Structure 1
Amino acid sequence: MMASTPYKFYLLHGCDSRQHLDQYFSDTSGMIFEDDFLIFPIENLAKTFTVGHITGDVLIDLSKGSLVHHLYAACEFFKHIIVLKISDRCIMELKRWLDTRTGAFNWEHATNRHVELEGKSHQSKEKEEKVREAAQHVVKCDLEKENMTDPIVFPPADCIISFCLLEVICKNQDDYIRYLRKFSGLLKPGGHLILFGALDLSFITVGTDKLHALTYDEDFVRKALAGEGFVIDVCKVKERTAVSDLIDYKAVIFIEAHKEI
């Protein structure tokens, strides 16, 4: 019997950004992760931003892969979306979509879902253009630097969105708290942090690669946020519905919190 292949580490090895999109976010028939990774975050983000208390000039996106759908609601409330990525591969895939290049990933299914929630089902193209106009800054970052975008210095953000990044960049719970503290350092006092993650996850498969993931539960996230000076305003947990051996999470979690002044 062959020995199992060790898990790869996202920060060191990255992943195939397009394969990641195709496996977990596409509109192909039978795409089993739609409820958990597309509909659940889109619906909760739409509700969160529609309330109207999260707004401002600058939003920073720190997310895994080359995702777009989590920015649809935000683009209506922020003039500037700064997208930070840890790899050139993620940036290249994202820019294909932002620059409307041939071969870009098709997010139309997610766009349609969002504009339907807004009661503007005829405005899908306008919605995508608003995201493109807002996301003018796509920058490679180094999470280990004091200023992760050095030599570029960005102003403190009014809001940060992080979609499924912390679990794949952290080797242990101390890492999670350390990176959460770095995220907090990018925020204004009173600024908002929106986290989307997968609970009780230990690996994610992308193509032929298995990537390590930090296993944590809701209680850990709540304590970590409180310990770093955040107050949780909204916390929603959805039990897993997808049946697949590509990834082993048990639930997905959506958190909106604000940084204490």
Structure 2
Amino acid sequence: MEGKVYLGGEDYEREFSPKDYLTTFYSFDSGAVAEREVVKFSLQNLYQTFSAGGVGGDVLIDIGSGPTIYQLLLACEVFREIIATDYTPQNLQELQKWLKKEPGAYDWSSIVQHACELEGDRSRWQEKEAKLRRTVTRVLRCDVTKTPPLGSAQVPLADCVLTLLAMECACPDVETYRAALCRLAGLLKPGGHLVTLVTLRFQHYMVGPKKFSGVYLEKETVEKAIQDAGCQVLRCNCVSLSYSPAYCVNDGLCFVVARKSPSA
């Protein structure tokens, strides 16, 4: 139906196209400048968090991985094991396709090279891809609106929960978002880190011809929700950077590193 706006849940499972999403937002060399700058901002902050900032450990759980791997490129150097998760089976299939080097897998080489450049050696991008494929040990279904978010899957408490550009799309309102963050904090070890990138003042985004909506968040709402989930905000980097209006209506991005109370 023309003009229809899709919400989370079953709408995502039925209507979301991983290939359209990747082509729009991750065509690093040939895509729109705004989308490329968002990826650069993400990788720079991930570099500062993992490679330079000392966040690492045994297990990282990535919530809402989607069909993407860029968010794990810096983390795979400092975690022994990464568990990737998403709500939609088609995203998990697309992710597995890359992990298994299957025909038709999305080409992430340009973004992988940029990540390696941040680390000081662009030429090791193939080694980086191999390292990530070894480090991602499981790909699981998740639903952040349910308790527990990973269903019946048995997973260890994580040293880090990572969620980039996912929660605002998975949650239809602020109360659902706040409750979801509490569930994510429950996946962390005491003293573990919660790392998130949020699209501020988000209204909707396009995946091919289809429009998907989510929750409108301000910086203060994000920080308060993280604190109420039992985590202390260590770093909050908010910028006015936004997507191309034709693809996503938002006003700003916010990258947050927080730490769960050691006594929690």
User: Do these two structures clear the TM 0.5 threshold for a shared fold by scoring above it?
Assistant: yes
User: Structure 2: how far apart are the matches of 1:79 and 1:254?
Assistant: 24
- CA shift, 1:107, in A, is 0.6
Would the alpha carbon gap of residues 67 and 5 (structure 1) be closer, same or farther in structure 2, given more than 3 Å must change? Answer: same
- Per the alignment, residue 191 of structure 2 pairs with 190
Q: 1:11: Cα distance to partner?
A: 1.9
Native 8 Å contact 1:97 1:105 kept in 2 = yes
Look up the match of 1:99: 100
Moved more, 185-194 or 228-237: 228-237
After superposing the two structures, state which structure 1 stretch, 142-151 or 227-236, moved more.
142-151
Higher mean C-alpha deviation, range 139-148 or range 217-226: 139-148
Q: Partners in 2 of 1:241 and 1:249 — Cα distance?
A: 6
Distance 1:173 1:119 in 2: 40
Q: How does 1:1-261 map to 2 (within 5 A)?
A: 5-14=3-12, 15-240=16-241, 242-261=243-262
Q: Where does the alignment leave 5 or more consecutive residues of structure 2 unmatched?
A: none
State the one-letter code of the partner of 2:8: Y
Retained in 2: the 8 A contact 1:240–1:249?
Answer: no
Distance across 1 between alignment mates of 2:261 and 2:138: 27
State whether residues 24 and 33 of structure 1, in contact with CA within 8 Å, keep that contact through their aligned partners in structure 2. no
Alpha-carbon distance in 2 for matches of 1:123, 1:171 = 41
1:10 corresponds to which letter in structure 2?
G
Asked if the contact 1:58/1:81 (under 8 Å) is kept, the reply is yes
Q: Once the 2 structures are TM-superposed, how far is the Cα of residue 96 of structure 1 from its aligned partner?
A: 1.0
Sort the Cα spacing of 1:71 and 1:201 in 2 relative to 1 into closer, same or farther, 3 A. same
Q: Which amino acid aligns with 1:7?
A: V
Letter in 2 for 1:59: L
Question: Structure 1 residues 260 and 169 mapped into 2: Cα distance closer, same or farther (>3 Å)?
Answer: same
1:17–1:66 Cα contact (<8 Å) kept: yes
Q: Conserved in 1, the CA contact under 8 Å of 2:234 and 2:259?
A: yes
For residue 122 of structure 1, give the secondary structure of its aligned residue in structure 2: helix
What amino acid is aligned across from residue 95 of structure 1 in structure 2? Q
Question: Following TM superposition, by how much is the alpha carbon of 1:110 offset from its aligned partner in structure 2, in angstroms?
Answer: 0.7
Superposed displacement of residue 145, structure 1: 4.0
CA RMSD of aligned residues (A): 1.7
TM-score when scaled to structure 1? 0.94
| Post-superposition offset of 1:150 | 3.4
Q: Given the two structures, how large is their TM-score scaled by the length of structure 2?
A: 0.93
Distance 2:174 2:147 in 1: 20
The one-letter code sitting in structure 2 at the alignment partner of 1:212 is S
| 1:147–1:153 Cα contact (<8 Å) kept | no
Q: CA deviation at 1:35?
A: 4.0
Describe the SS at the equivalent of 2:58: strand
Gaps of 5+ in 1: none
| Residues 23 and 206 in structure 1, CA contact (< 8 A), matched pair in contact too | yes
Alpha-carbon distance change, 59 to 30 in structure 1, aligned in 2, over 3 angstroms: closer
Separation of aligned partners in 2, 1:8 and 1:30: 24
Q: Are residues 155 and 30 of structure 1, via their aligned partners in 2, closer, same or farther at CA, if it must alter by over 3 Å?
A: closer
Q: Which amino acid is 2:251 matched to?
A: K
Per the alignment, in what secondary structure is the counterpart of residue 123 of structure 1? helix
State the shift of 1:13 in Å.
1.5
In the alignment of these two chains, the number of paired residues is 259
Mapped contact 2:145–2:176 kept (Cα < 8 A): no
Aligned partners of 2:213 and 2:170: how far apart in 1?
A: 9
